Chain A
Amino acid sequence: MRTDPLFQPVMSEVRSTRTVSLSFNDQALEVPAGISVAAALLMSGINRFRATPVSESPRAPYCMMGVCFECLVDIDGVPNRQSCLIEVAEGMRIRSQEGARDLIFQPGDVQTAIEQTVEVQS
């Protein structure tokens, strides 16, 4: 969900001519090239990066230097990426992490696998 951005470029900043297109939860964003994913999201009005696995409380970057791991997001299908340490790239698909990470195999997949195994054995 986008709100008014918490951060914006300072006045003396020359607007970057180079931009990259990426998406956050399927929403298209245009951001300056060369900055971190976390900085790009913060200036685009993304104020909530993830929900915690324990209580699903909202979280956003705290340290911006790779220490706190609060800025974890899913980038191009890879979960738990530290967005403060990764530079934006054209076409990046970013998603917030909601609660505990999914298992690689969904419970349904396991059920199917068991049934298939049982079929093979019988």
Chain B
Amino acid sequence: MNDHFGGVVEAVDVVVVGAGAAGMAGAVALAGLGLQVVLLDEQGSPGGQIYRGITLAPLSRRDLLGAEYAHGNVLAQALASSSVRYEKGAAVWQVTRDHQVSYLRDGRLRTLQAKAVLLATGAMERPFPIPGWTLPGVMSAGAAQILLKSAGLAPTEPVVLAGCGPLLYLLGWQYLRAGVPIKALVDTTRPEDYWRARRHLFAALRAWPYLRKGLELMRSLRSARIPHHTGAEQLAIEGEEAATALTFTVAGKAHRIAARCVLLHQGVVPNIQFSQSLRARHVWDVDQLCFSPVVDPWGELDVPGMFVAGDGAGIGGAQAAALQGELAALGIAQRLGRVNAGQRDERAGPLREQLALNLRIRPFLDALYQPKEANRIPADEVIVCRCEEVTAGDLRKFVALGCAGPNQAKSFGRCGMGPCQGRMCGLTVTEVIAKARGVSAAEVGYYRIRPPIKPITLGELAGE
């Protein structure tokens, strides 16, 4: 059998893309159901972003990061003792609708032909387009957490955390435990956000472990007497060659905090590069303010045999992701004749109960930490597309000239055509254009994503 480029193809039952919570749990469950599974992952060790470096982190670091992080080791150990063929350092650059998965590993191109594919590519942080966000010294909170998880690194000088969302407070809590000084927590959450979230509080109370953890985080940040500015608006980074300060206003009063390191966060969104490249149906999620692929109860896309599990199908967190991975495995096993529909549904029952329990907290979190419009749809001078340096004002000019959506914005001014292939600007571009046109984000749509999903040279493609 040959691939689309004439190379040799290896046939396997199932390919799982991504070794985070959903991918590890899904792959192990598939192998347990008697299927031959290849798990491909870009990193050097399993864990994805949430459990990044879990198999390599020294005990002291694992302890510092907390019990939720340490839980990743249970999944990693199950993976290690399973029959799953785990391939690290594998950059998947193409997945086709007929279940071919092409990837680059050790400079060599390989292609697998699967009967079904499980995409477990997780989430990425929502872009935070504010003035100066491209300056060195400004990073996402997730990036700083990855430095802590994978290398035991933290900011040298007192750091400023800005934005909103569980990950931002979790990082603050982890920094406190590590003895890393925090200069300020600049919170964009406002009193009306609590008001909006309150109608979901009852459901959230039934997900008490999550809520308790969140309250603990906030309490520890408060008792550490970290300056906490709530209701922050008009955030901007100062600096010429690198960040020197964060400026913002609270109730109209201007603030300036000098810092070389500013960490931004306003939630995570599904990484939809692969499901988009498959031309699967996506919808605009009005609560999570992002595009999510449409999946059935087993995670199957409207492309037969193509499944999505975990945050890539909508944000639910690590525990929900692992359960979705197991559910997708059952759906795939039934598809491939390893179990019948009755067996599948019976085994799925307890998993669905747990999943529902895990997802109860989401509406509350989504409402409480909904990113502010000003931090999603920025002022004219703010860079939206970091690669090609296209500003929100440029986009608005394109719209005035007749640009209707993200794909046209490419030809108007190279927006989204740099190395990141629109990953960092996609959502912002959709929302800026939608607002300028006075239509919904759903109507504007998203970039048309094409392979290669990861950079690959012509030499590598030619097998040189």
Contact = CB atoms under 8 A, between A and B. Distances in A.
Nearest to A16: B152
B148 A69 contact: no
B61 interface: yes
Size category of the binding interface on chain A:
35 or more
A90 interface: no
B152 A85 contact: no
B317 to A, nearest CB: 17
B167 to A, nearest CB: 13
B266 to A, nearest CB: 14
B179 A11 contact: yes
B136 A59 contact: yes
A67 B260 CA distance: 23
Interface in A80-113: 80, 82, 84-85, 87
Contacts of B44: 87
A65 B143 contact: yes
B309 to A, nearest CB: 19
A29 to B, nearest CB: 14
B151 A80 contact: no
Contacts of B419: 69, 72, 80
A72 B455 CA distance: 12
Nearest to A32: B151
Main SS at interface, chain A: loop
A35 B124 CA distance: 21
A34 B134 CA distance: 28
B148 A10 contact: yes
Among B152, B271, B455, max chain A CB count under 10 A is at: B152
Contacts of A40: 151
Interface of B: 42-44, 49, 56, 58, 60-61, 64, 124-125, 134-140, 142-144, 146-148, 150-157, 178-180, 241-242, 260-261, 271, 386-389, 418-420, 423-424, 455
17 contacts: A7-B154, A7-B156, A8-B154, A9-B152, A10-B153, A10-B179, A13-B152, A47-B242, A58-B241, A59-B134, A62-B143, A63-B140, A63-B142, A67-B423, A68-B423, A70-B134, A70-B386
